[in-house]
Amino acid sequence: MGKFQVINHPLIQHKLTIIRDKRTGTKYFREVVNEIARLLAYEVSREMPVEDIEIETPLIKSTQKQLSGKKVVIVPILRAGLGMVDGMLDLIPAAKVGHVGMYRDHETMEPVEYFIKLPSDLPDRQLLVVDPMLATGGSAVAAIDALKKRGATNIKFVCLVAAPEGVKVLQDAHPDVDIYSASLDDKLNENGYILPGLGDAGDRLFGTL
Ligand code: PRP
Ligand code: URA
């Protein structure tokens, strides 16, 4: 079973409260989503492998560390995942960015794939799939299905707000995928919205309410 980790750092908790508040407008919402994504990137990258490298400081030869291992690809699930990309890139600037377009049919709540564009050599890369919301889990599972079908083997999922229902669905479908979230909320309502949640993340990010 992949691990599920809530990153409940005080700065993240404070910023989450800002984006949960319905009075927060699009500009501020977008800024704070990116700030939280940046803080999450710090935690998600904590276990990145490092290797020894010989360098010379101005004073002496020395063995130091540098990042090794697989190259990172950030994969936002469109649209709302786009809101987390710049924040993640702030900490992992050399990452490539792939896109998976997935929307949730409002009647059936089933995810529908409408776009996919990814870098090559997926098996050799570490993918960080990002989406602010893990609600029923349908979108995350379908996006990760699509990535695995194209050869991805190393995937982590990073979100801001997760519902227990979605965590279970994702862990059952993809037990190899570790999940990182800024919060574990209470439950879903009858329309599949997370409670207390923050509403429709895509609409609040892009001002399409
Ligand atoms: C939202 C959100 C997730 C999905 C989560 O996207 O960004 O992708 O819903 O719900 P689920 O876990 O029940 O699948 P939405 O479908 O509203 O599309 P958008 O990003 O274009 O707004
Ligand atoms: N998608 C959202 O944007 N918000 C929710 O609460 C659930 C799904």
Q: Ligand 2 pocket test: which of 20, 198, 203, 204 has the largest number of ligand atoms within 8 Å of its C-beta?
A: 198
pLDDT at site 60? 98
The closest alpha carbon to 119, from 89, 98, 95, belongs to 98
Q: Model confidence over 61-96: pLDDT tens digits?
A: 999 999 998 899 999 999 999 999 999 999 999 999
How many domains does the chain divide into? Answer: 1
pLDDT at 11 over 80: yes
Q: Ligand 1 pocket test: which of 78, 105, 109, 139 has the largest number of ligand atoms within 8 Å of its C-beta?
A: 139
Q: In terms of residue numbers, what domain contains 22?
A: 4-206
CB-based contact 26:18 (threshold 8 Å):
no
- Entry pTM: 0.96
Q: Is ipTM > 0.95 here?
A: yes
Q: CA neighbours within 13 Å on the CB side: how many for 100? A: 27
Q: Model confidence over 191-203: pLDDT tens digits?
A: 999 999 999 999 9
pLDDT at 17 over 80: yes
- 67 three-state secondary structure: strand
CATH classification of the domain holding 173: 3.40.50.2020
